[in-house]
Amino acid sequence: MKRGAPPPVPAGRKLYPATPPPTRGAISWNMNTSCNYRCSYCTQRFIDDRGRWAADLPRFMAAFAALPGAWEIKLSGGEPFVHPGFLEAVAGLAKLDFVVSVVTNLSASQAKLADFMQAVGPQLGVLSCSLHLEYVDIDDRPDQRDTLSAFIDRCSFARDHAPAGASVCVTCVATRANLAALPRLRERFAAAGLTFKIQPEKQDREVIAYTPGERQALVQLGGHNLTGSIAPDYAGQPCWAGARYFVVDDRGEAYRCYPARRYRTERLGNLLDGSFTLAPLPAPCRYRYCNCTVPIARGMMPRAAARETTHTTRGPT
Ligand code: SF4
Ligand code: SF4
């Protein structure tokens, strides 16, 4: 958890008008803390209990169904495929007409991926496949438990079985150990027809202090999830998060966005106990580092603002 209050918004910052109301809202549902991996850079590695999962799926389904308007729900964890009710949740949300997106380490077998495709059907939005090189051997050595070629095969299987309009992409955390390999990985995935995105490494919830040369390399790779920035800063800008985007965990605790949850500010209540409320309108962002690429990608804040204010080193605390 981030301690203390967010740093103030700098005075005199140019402010932009709010973007148009999103036709579809988006929810990041961290449905479990459990994961079959233990990546050294995992931002959740300090969570006390990494064995939790959303247990009362019918209550979650009822709460999601009661939301006003159209929504996309992006399932993540931990690793959502290890949630014991993952396929049940996917099928339930698809039946309720939600667009269903998933962030996964793609360690699931092809057979389980096929089950997922059947459960989600035409409702799939984005399948975001995280490549973790501490578990996937980039050199394809046959004695390793998973290899890059096998990972690409699973990505391709998912892409080939995804419904029209859905997308399958690959992400990789730009640790210093990974940096040199990232351009080669991008080419390898491009050759397979897959979009490759990098994510800056974070320590203590802030982007690590990359050198200028490393920052340049990350920007050349598209910045965080192809946003063009390493650490976007929308502080002071109007943002629809809290009204048409929120994050919710396995216990139903809901916050405006990830920075809000880190600072324990802008809590929206609990989705399961009747205390949850959405804001009616966009409101100024209070945070100096936005790592919420879901609302960024869906145009929920004026992106032109980040070009003038983006931090490219460790963000302020
Ligand atoms: S796969 Fe993701 S959730 Fe699991 S340990 Fe690695 S970074 Fe953390
Ligand atoms: S941190 Fe990002 S998602 Fe959160 S309010 Fe600011 S701009 Fe919106």
> Which residue has a Cα nearest atom 2 of ligand 2?
290
Q: Which of 34, 44, 107 to mutate to test the pocket of ligand 1 (most atoms within 8 A of CB)?
A: 44
Are 295 and 243 contacting, i.e. CB atoms less than 8 angstroms apart? no
CA–CA distance, 312 with 10 (Å, rounded to integer): 17
- Whether residue 116 is contained in a domain is answered as yes
> Which protein residues touch ligand 1 with a CB less than 6 Å away?
35, 37-39, 42, 44, 77-79, 105, 130, 132
Q: How far apart are CA 46 and CA 158, in angstroms?
A: 31
284 Cα–ligand 2 center, Å = 8
Domain total of the chain: 1
Query: Could you tell me if residue 157 is inside a domain?
Result: yes
Residue range of the domain that includes 304: 24-309
Report how far Cα 161 is from the mean position of its chain's Cα atoms: 22
Question: Percent of the chain at pLDDT above 90?
Answer: 82
pLDDT value at 77 more than 50: yes
Neighbours of 267 (CB within 10 A): 14
CA separation for the pair 271, 276 (Å, rounded): 5
pLDDT at 315 over 50: no
Q: Are 129 and 135 in contact (CB under 8 A)?
A: no
Q: Which amino acid is at 117?
A: M
Report CA(312)–ligand 2 centroid distance (Å).
17
* Spatial separation of the C-alpha atoms in residues 43 and 81, rounded to whole Å: 18
Higher-confidence residue of 80 and 303: namely: 80
Tell me whether residue 10 is in a domain.
no
Instruction: Identify the CATH number of the domain in which residue 160 sits.
Output: 3.20.20.70
In a domain, 202, yes or no: yes
Cα of 39 vs centre of ligand 1, distance in Å, is 5
pLDDT tens profile 1-23: 556 788 888 888 899 999 999 99
Gap between the Cα atoms of 302 and 17, Å rounded: 7
Residue 3 lies in a domain: no
Q: Whole-angstrom Cα distance, residue 71 to residue 244?
A: 8
Structure tokens at 132: 């973790």
The pLDDT score that the predictor gives to residue 203 is 85
Query: What are the phi and psi torsion angles at 85 (to 5°)?
Result: -110, 25
Asked whether residue 302 is assigned to any structural domain, the reply reads yes
Is 157 in contact with 110 (CB distance < 8 Å)?
yes
Closest ligand, as measured to the CA of 240:
2
Average pLDDT estimate for 202-230: 91
pLDDT tops 60 at residue 312: no
- pLDDT of residue 308 exceeding 70, the answer is no
Instruction: Please give the number of the atom of ligand 1 that sits closest to the Cα of 35.
Output: 4
Cβ-based burial of 254 (10 A; exposed 0-12, middle 13-18, buried ≥19):
buried
DSSP alpha helix (H) spans, 54-203: 57-65, 86-95, 110-120, 148-161, 182-191
61 CA from centroid of ligand 2 (Å): 26
pLDDT band at 177 (very low <50, low <70, confident <90, very high): very high
Answer whether residue 169 shows pLDDT above 60: yes
Per DSSP, what are the bridge partners of residue 137? 147
- pLDDT tens across 107-164, in order? 999 999 999 999 999 999 999 999 999 999 999 998 888 999 999 999 999 999 999 9
CA end-to-end distance (rounded Å), the chain: 12
State the Cα angle at 57 between 51 and 60, rounded to 5°.
110
Atom of ligand 2 at shortest range from CA of 245: 3
Contacts by residues 143-148 (CB-CB < 8 Å, ≥ 24 positions apart): 146/107, 148/185, 148/188
CA dihedral 211, 227, 83, 141 (to 10 degrees): -60
127 occurs within a structural domain: yes
| CA angle (237 as vertex; 232, 243 as ends), nearest 5 | 100
| 1 is a domain residue | no
